[in-house]
Structure 1
Amino acid sequence: MSALALVTGATSGIGRAFADRLASDGYDLIAVGRNTARLDELVAAHPDVTVRPLAADLSTPEGIDAVAAAAADAPVDLLVNNAGVAHYMPLADLPAEKATELVNVKILAPTLLTRAVLPGMLERSAGTIINVGGMIAFSGPAPSSVMPRRAVYGGALAHLLAFSQLLAAELEGTGVRVQALLPGVVATEFHTRQGMDLSAVPRMSAEDVVTASLRGLELGETVTAPGVEDASLLDAVFAADLAAFGGQSPQLATRYNG
Structure 2
Amino acid sequence: MSSLALITGASSGIGRAFAERLAMDGYGVITVARRRDRLEALAASLPVGAVQVVTADLSTDQGIDAVADVCADQPLTMLVNNAGVSHYMPMAKLPAAKARELVQVKVAAPTMLTRAALPGMLARGAGTVVNVAGMLAFSGPAPMSEAQRRAGRAVYTGTLAHAVATSQALHAELEGTGVTVHAVCPGVVATEFHEVQGIDLSAVPRMSADDVVNATLAGIELGEVVIAPGVESRSLLEAVFSADLATFAGQSPQLASRYQAG
Shorter-chain TM-score range: over 0.9
- Give the superposition deviation at 1:149: 1.9
CA distance in 2, matches of 1:50, 1:211: 20
TM-score (norm 1): 0.98
TM-aligned CA deviation for residue 48 of structure 1: 3.9
Matching residue of 1:66 = 66
- Superposed CA RMSD in Å reads 0.9
Q: For residue 205 of structure 1, what is the aligned residue in structure 2?
A: 208
Residue identity matched to 2:79: L
Matched residues in 1 for 2:13 and 2:222: separation? 24
1:44 is matched with which residue?
44
Alignment-derived partner of residue 77 in structure 2:
77
Kindly provide the CA deviation profile for residues 179-224 of structure 1, in whole angstroms up to 9, marking residues without a partner as x.
Answer: 1000000000011011011111000000000000000001000000
Which 4+ residue blocks in structure 1 deviate beyond 4 angstroms? none
Aligned to 1:95: 95
Q: Output one character per residue of 1:56-104: Cα deviation in whole Å (capped at 9) or x when no partner.
A: 0001101000000011010011000000012111101110010000000
Aligned-residue offset at 1:50 = 2.5
Matched, 1:135 2:135: yes
1:15 aligns to 2:18 (yes or no): no
Deviation at 1:34, TM superposition (A): 0.6
Stretch of structure 1 that moved more, 108-117 or 135-144: 135-144
The percentage of counterpart residues that share the same residue type is: 68
Name the residue aligned to 2:196. 193
Counting matched residue pairs gives 258
Which stretch of structure 1 is more off in the superposition, 67-76 or 46-55?
46-55
Which residue identity lines up with residue 163 of structure 2 in the other structure?
Answer: L
SS at match of 1:167: helix
Tell me the residue number matched to 2:237: 234
**AA aligned opposite 1:173:** G
What is the letter of the counterpart of residue 159 of structure 2? A
Q: What's the offset of the Cα at 1:39? A: 0.8
Whether the 8 Å contact between 2:23 and 2:47 is mirrored in structure 1 is: no
> What is residue 56 of structure 1 aligned with on the other side?
56
Aligned partners of 1:5, 1:164: CA distance in 2, in Å?
18
Shift in Å at residue 49 of structure 1? Answer: 4.1
- Determine the structure 1 residue equivalent to 2:35: 35
Which residue number corresponds to residue 222 of structure 1? 225
Q: Can you list the C-alpha shifts for 1:132-176, whole angstroms capped at 9, x where unaligned?
A: 000000011011327242110000000000000000000000000
The whole-number CA distance in structure 2 between the counterparts of 1:98 and 1:209 is 27
Report the Cα distance in structure 2 between the residues aligned to 1:139 and 1:245, rounded to whole angstroms. 19
Q: Partner residue of 1:122? A: 122
